[in-house]
């Protein structure tokens, strides 16, 4: 049945019994309790600090900021990339990108096969494939969030303000002019050999102007650039500390017995909240989803009940990702009998990965079918 934790159990044992080296054996007994290890959640920092960034072949890594609509098709995205990236930088050998449906479609795969470009996607549960690109994306997202939050700051006396898309050139220029903590130089200086000048480097502060609106626009633009530089500095410092503050180096070595979290398992039967939190033991180290497994001699505690019942796992085929929702249903005739099948959509996948599956083959099928039937009635 387990116990109430080390401290509470120790207090109860100390008040009723004593034997030589009882504290040492008690700690071993508690730490090797299989039910307690599998059922209790893992607290504290996660294992696995951020790994070293991938060393770039060309140490420039300058940024291009291009807005696009969520409704854009694969063709629109390809044209945007061709007109703004390939026209200035040429055809890249690898492209490291997010697992977006527009970039994982058959259109993009066939297009870049013909161009000789390799599309490199991170795994679903390990997105830190290219550390430098990941940090850059996080920094740009933080900068844009700050711009959206500070949007009211740029209004002039006529109520005119910048739309965040119009601020992208300033963000791009400010980022490419800022010093990189790895190279010690700005991307523009490394790539071009010189640092781009800003209009403020040439403009006179007290120049008499005939058009007040041009002066207002210049002041708004200058404040936007100053805010961009400040946001970049804050975002870099924040992203540097955020990851390592919540992670630590695992005290594990190859061959240790570990328990694996069921957080990412989507093919288990039974109520979700009644399952064990961990499964194992396994001699593997799958990163941040494990914790150490403690064991003792087999006959040292003969009164302890063994719990070696494995979880009930449904054999399913290799799906491209977790299920997002069920789209529609139909009946088919199979082996002389009618069987209902469902068209399943997977998260972060394009339409060409949809699959027709029977109810028992859908991971967490009961939950998704309930949602599908509710949506069908409305």
Cα torsion 137, 138, 144, 150 to 10°: value is: -160
* pTM over cut 0.85: no
**Consecutive H or E run containing 212:** helix 212-245
pLDDT by residue for the chain (378 residues), tens digit each? 556 667 777 887 888 888 888 888 888 888 888 777 776 777 777 766 555 444 455 555 678 888 888 788 878 888 888 888 888 778 777 777 766 777 777 767 777 777 777 777 665 555 455 555 666 777 777 777 766 655 545 555 555 556 677 778 878 888 888 877 655 677 777 677 677 777 666 655 555 555 556 667 667 667 766 766 676 677 767 776 777 777 777 677 767 787 878 776 766 666 666 667 777 777 655 556 667 777 777 777 777 776 655 555 444 456 777 888 899 898 888 777 888 899 998 888 878 788 888 888 888 888 888 888 888 876
Are 16 and 127 members of one domain?
A: no
| Sheet of strand 337-346: strand arrangement | 323-334, 337-346, 355-358
Q: Which CATH number belongs to the domain containing residue 360 in this structure?
A: 2.40.50.40
Q: Report how far apart, in Å, the C-alpha atoms of 85 and of each of 88, 170, 303, 370 are.
A: 6, 18, 69, 45
Are 83 and 226 members of one domain?
A: yes
Are 25 and 96 members of one domain?
A: no
Q: What residue numbers bound the domain in which 97 lies? A: 74-245
Q: How many domains does the chain have?
A: 3
């Amino acid at each position: 049945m387990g116990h109430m934790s080390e401290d509470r159990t120790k207090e109860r044992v100390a008040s009723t019994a004593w034997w030589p080296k009882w504290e040492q054996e008690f700690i071993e007994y508690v730490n090797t309790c299989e039910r307690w290890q599998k059922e209790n959640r893992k607290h504290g920092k996660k294992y696995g600090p951020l790994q070293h960034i991938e060393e770039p072949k060309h140490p420039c890594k300058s940024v291009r900021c291009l807005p696009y609509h969520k409704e854009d098709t694969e063709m629109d995205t390809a044209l945007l990339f061709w007109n703004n990236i390939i026209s200035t930088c040429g055809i890249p050998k690898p492209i490291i990108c997010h697992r977006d449906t527009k970039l994982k479609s058959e259109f993009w795969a066939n297009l870049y096969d013909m161009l000789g470009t390799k599309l490199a996607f991170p795994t679903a549960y390990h997105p830190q494939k290219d550390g430098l690109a990941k940090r850059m994306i996080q920094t740009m997202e933080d900068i844009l969030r700050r711009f959206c939050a500070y949007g009211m700051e740029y209004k002039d006396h006529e109520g005119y303000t910048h739309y965040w898309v119009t601020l992208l050139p300033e963000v791009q220029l400010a980022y490419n002019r800022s010093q990189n903590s790895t190279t010690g130089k700005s991307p523009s200086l490394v790539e071009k050999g010189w640092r781009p000048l800003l209009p403020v480097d040439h403009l006179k502060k007290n120049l008499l102007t005939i058009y007040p609106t041009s002066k207002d626009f210049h002041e708004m633009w200058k404040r936007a650039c100053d805010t961009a530089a400040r946001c970049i500095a804050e975002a870099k410092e924040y992203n540097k500390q955020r990851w390592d503050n919540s992670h630590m180096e695992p005290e594990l070595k190859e061959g240790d017995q570990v328990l694996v979290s069921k957080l990412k398992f989507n093919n288990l039967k039974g109520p979700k909240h009644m399952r064990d939190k961990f499964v194992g033991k396994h001699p593997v180290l799958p990163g941040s989803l494990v914790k150490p497994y403690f064991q003792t001699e087999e006959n040292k505690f003969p009164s302890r009940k063994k719990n070696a019942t494995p979880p009930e796992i449904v054999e399913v085929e290799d799906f491209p990702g977790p299920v997002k929702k069920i789209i529609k249903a139909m009946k088919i005739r199979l082996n002389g009998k009618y069987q209902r099948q469902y068209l399943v959509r997977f998260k972060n996948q394009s339409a060409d990965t949809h699959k027709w599956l029977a109810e028992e083959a859908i991971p967490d099928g009961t939950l998704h079918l309930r949602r599908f039937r509710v949506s069908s009635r409305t």
